[in-house]
Structure 1
Amino acid sequence: MSESDPVPGGRPGEAERAAALSGELSGRDVHGVVLAYVDTAGITRVKTVPTARLASAAAWGVGMSPVFDTFLADDSIVATDVLGSPDGDLRLHPDLDRLTVLAAQPGWAWAPVDRITQEGGPHPACARTVLRRTVAHAAERYGVRFKAAFEIEWSVGRGDTDGDAFVPAVPGPAYGAARQVGFSDCAADLLAALAAQGVDVEQLHPEYAPGQFEVSVGALDPVAAADRSVLVRQTIRAVVRRHRLRASFAPAVSGRGVGNGGHLHLSAWRDGANLHAGGPGRYGMTAEAESFVAGVLEHLPALTAITAPSPASYLRLRPSQWAGVFTAWGRETREAALRIVTGSTGERGRAANLEVKPVDLAANPYLALAAVIAAGLDGLASSAPLPAETTGDPARLDPADAEARGIRRLPVSLAPAVAAFRSDDVLRTALGPVLADAVTAVRLGEIEAVDGLDDDGIAAAYRWKY
């Protein structure tokens, strides 16, 4: 157990702090606190407590079954040798440092949780704990810290349609002024809510697909970045609902066209210096940054089982749609799976980062970050060489040329991604056997759940799950 893990009864002063926060929240007419975590299938699960119970929750946690680690997106249950039974219980412990009053849900606050056992030990399938320990290992072993952020794309549908159909709520072309105007009131409310919650927004704009928008937020340490991704989606759902619309973060809302991504931006730092800038390598990368990128590149096929975890993810991961479906990297190359972002002259020390493109918002953000960091650290540990850069669209390369350059198509469906993950000892070790087996079981369960469905059927099955 690390000093950052929750403990029964709370750390010194924690219950008193929670009691003081409870009083502050009550004074702001906040009546309940949402305790949130993300399960293996990428679904945000919650319990709530009255504000007056926050101190008790901080000290002793709130009970929740471990069976949710093997829930599928449709709420059916699969099992591993240690997870998936009706037995046992866990304790949800809110992170008081991340407690946030929800501007778009009057009367409510929100906090992410860590999950521990009733005996006080860390739950081996708690993805937030796994990410925190991965980050700590990187700092202790390599002296490296990280900044991260997820792009958040979502589709806005009308709220008055029959059944679960998706009808774009706002017309207009990609990046078009007409769509921005049509969504103007809702977007303004969203920006106001995020600002009230302390979320620094860098961009909010119409995206490529019909009714699609994207919000980009500032980078934080990895655990806080994953927390922020969950919080921003909670906020978008609430704001959109108040405008009688529906928001979908599913990788695809239809069987054709461009889907919703959740691109991950990540930079490694040491002693306050960005390793992705100011170095002698390509585009200013240090040798360590190049090796980190090489590690991520090497593990990409297996990573897709984490970063693109839904059968619907592979409706999005198609060539020539800027989804990044080839094991290639390049500076500002949007068809490569790894995009090197340098930033403009004068801001590169702050802005340079690695963008991992085959990521969507069906992914558990804590799992995605832990796995990508573990892959990069594997490259860093071995001083892995970064291969030649790719420019243009890899789909247009002669197959023999692509093969010679080591450029491969990422898995075209979830099944080969799972097979790659099962054979990747680095990623399985990073997650630990309990969580790695849960990932495998849940992915195989999702595959079985959509067996026999065509693309439109798969899109419909997951359209409103995320």
Structure 2
Amino acid sequence: MGTTRRTPVSEAAAGTTTGAAQPAGGCQEPGHGRERARAAAARLAQAGVHGTALTWVDNAGLTRVKAVPADKLAQAAATGVGMSPCFDVYLVDDSMTTSEYIGGPDGDLRLVPDLDRLTVLSAQPGWAWAPVDRHEQDGTPYAACQRGFARGMAARALAEHGIELRMGFETEWVAVRGPLPDAEAEPAYPTTGPAYGMARLVENADYLRDVLAALSAQGVEVLQIHPEYAAGQFEVSVAPSDPVGAADLAVLVRETVRAVSLRHGLTASFAPVVDPAGVGNGGHLHLSLWRDGRNLCAGGEGPFGMTRECEAFLGGVLRELPALLALGAPSPASYLRLRPSRWAGAFRCWGLENREAALRFVASRAASPGGANAELKCVDAAANPYLLVGGVLAAGLAGLAEAAAGRSARLPAPVSGDPALRGDQPGLPGSLTAALEQFERSEVLREALGGPLFDAVRAVRAGEIALFEGASEREIAAATRGRY
């Protein structure tokens, strides 16, 4: 798996980004690089940018935003932008629950843009984008910052094991003509061709070309784009980055696709399901482990050439998968997608190139010796990508810690064929209620997330379970397909 290169604005003809994807490190603090921020703001103004969208993703998986004029970017980088912490306990319908540490109208945070990720948005002329780190009013990191959690887990992997993770998301979406329909109406898709068919690409050639062009102009390296299985469904995969960078890219790619879709009279839905009778949208996560330029997923003595460290890491992930679903399949709608025999990974097993296993291993190929990686298939785009990469890291690190302590860290036997037909593999939780029960029992995730973030996630999951209690599958799909 290679690494995405993002072109600095000083190197680009039109000014696409102001920084390349960087390895995980310290978060951006208020007052960080004031002169650099002023220079970046000046370059944005020269590029015709009037506003910068500053985004974070809440625990319901929704991307929230505050925006500043281009000439206020330096001030935002210096002092942050105010925002209430209450959004950490907002539900998917914008109602609010509460938790032990977070909730109610009190308090304020500072949103500090990460200038290394600052990007001019090709499909939204006059706009730029940057993800934020969240801080307390006194400048200390906010304990429930999901992006900070992901960064902390990546830093632990490097500090404790000398391992760097490369991660990348697949983004799937369904495009619908005009606005998304209500619960009673059927969606109108912009394509009639067969699944994965060239006819679909031909019918949507201008649309997909513009998606590629916009991502390229933003310095995002696309690996592939194609029509998917469901009606109106497409997928784009981008080159991997460090864990925080991968989550940032997941946000940027999604909002770019959304903007291009609107220009074509389409609405893009990244929800787990648009039609509950059909195949849903995944948000698969690929990962590989690296040390000193070597891919630890290959060249070892473990299964299919993985090193023992890779095996231990993946063993920790597989063990925690039922609890990780509360992070990676976080909506009641997720379980309308997570069903057997739909390539969704509904069983707690792993296998070589097995698209029905929750954890799919991709072995090294002669043409791409560094390409060995693992794919987590049981997750979707309702997930907060920062929570997901951080949670996967925490689970993998627990596996590495067991191996270092001399305890067994071997993977079980790999599974071939459809686990639903074999009948000998454990299923993953079939509802958010069951996943939340596993999450509440996970000491690994509780310790890694810390009290404020763990409890806020738990409160949001419980709130959405109550929100959709008694709703039909069609009602759940209709209520969520326009939210992600």
TM-score range, shorter chain: over 0.9
The answer to whether structure 1 residue 5 and structure 2 residue 27 are counterparts is yes
Within 5 Å, give how 1:413-424 maps onto structure 2. 413-424=431-442
What letter corresponds to residue 124 of structure 1 in structure 2? A
The answer to whether structure 1 residue 371 and structure 2 residue 371 are counterparts is no
Aligned sequence identity (%): 57
How many Å apart are 1:397 and its aligned residue? Answer: 1.7
What letter corresponds to residue 437 of structure 1 in structure 2? D
Partner residue in 1 for 2:133: 114
What letter corresponds to residue 430 of structure 1 in structure 2? A
Partner residue in 2 for 1:265: 286
Answer whether contact 1:250 1:465 (CA < 8 A) is retained: yes
Distance 1:323 1:382, change over 3 A: same
How many Å apart are 1:211 and its aligned residue? Answer: 0.5
Answer whether contact 2:88 2:456 (CA < 8 A) is retained: yes
2:315 paired residue among 288, 294, 302: 294
5+ residue gaps, structure 1:
none
Q: Secondary structure at the match of 1:268?
A: strand
Answer whether contact 1:70 1:79 (CA < 8 A) is retained: yes
What letter corresponds to residue 21 of structure 1 in structure 2? A
Partner residue in 1 for 2:112: 93
How many Å apart are 1:3 and its aligned residue? Answer: 7.2
Work out the CA distance in 2 between the residues paired with 1:296 and 1:281. Answer: 16
Partner residue in 2 for 1:128: 147
1:328 paired residue among 349, 353, 357: 349
Partner residue in 2 for 1:381: 401
Distance 1:295 1:3, change over 3 A: closer
How many Å apart are 1:182 and its aligned residue? Answer: 1.2
Answer whether contact 1:295 1:380 (CA < 8 A) is retained: yes
5+ residue gaps, structure 2:
1-23, 404-408
Distance 1:171 1:83, change over 3 A: same
Answer whether contact 1:255 1:457 (CA < 8 A) is retained: no
In the TM superposition, structure 1's runs of 4+ consecutive aligned residues that sit over 4 Å from their partners are 160-165
Within 5 Å, give how 1:270-349 maps onto structure 2. 270-348=291-369
Work out the CA distance in 2 between the residues paired with 1:84 and 1:55. Answer: 30
The answer to whether structure 1 residue 251 and structure 2 residue 272 are counterparts is yes
What letter corresponds to residue 226 of structure 1 in structure 2? A
1:427-455: CA deviation from partner (whole Å, max 9, x where unpaired): 11111111110111000111111111111
1:172-191: CA deviation from partner (whole Å, max 9, x where unpaired): 11101111111111111110
What letter corresponds to residue 441 of structure 1 in structure 2? A
Answer whether contact 1:269 1:275 (CA < 8 A) is retained: yes
Partner residue in 2 for 1:390: 415
Distance 1:435 1:23, change over 3 A: same
Work out the CA distance in 1 between the residues paired with 2:461 and 2:37. Answer: 38
Answer whether contact 2:327 2:387 (CA < 8 A) is retained: yes
1:383-439: CA deviation from partner (whole Å, max 9, x where unpaired): 2111111000111124xxx2xxxx310010000100000000001111111111011
How many Å apart are 1:381 and its aligned residue? Answer: 1.1
1:358-394: CA deviation from partner (whole Å, max 9, x where unpaired): 1100000000000011101111111211111100011
Answer whether contact 1:6 1:116 (CA < 8 A) is retained: no
Work out the CA distance in 1 between the residues paired with 2:202 and 2:273. Answer: 24
Answer whether contact 1:35 1:47 (CA < 8 A) is retained: yes
Work out the CA distance in 2 between the residues paired with 1:390 and 1:160. Answer: 42
Answer whether contact 2:179 2:267 (CA < 8 A) is retained: no
RMSD: 1.2
Within 5 Å, give how 1:166-181 maps onto structure 2. 166-181=187-202
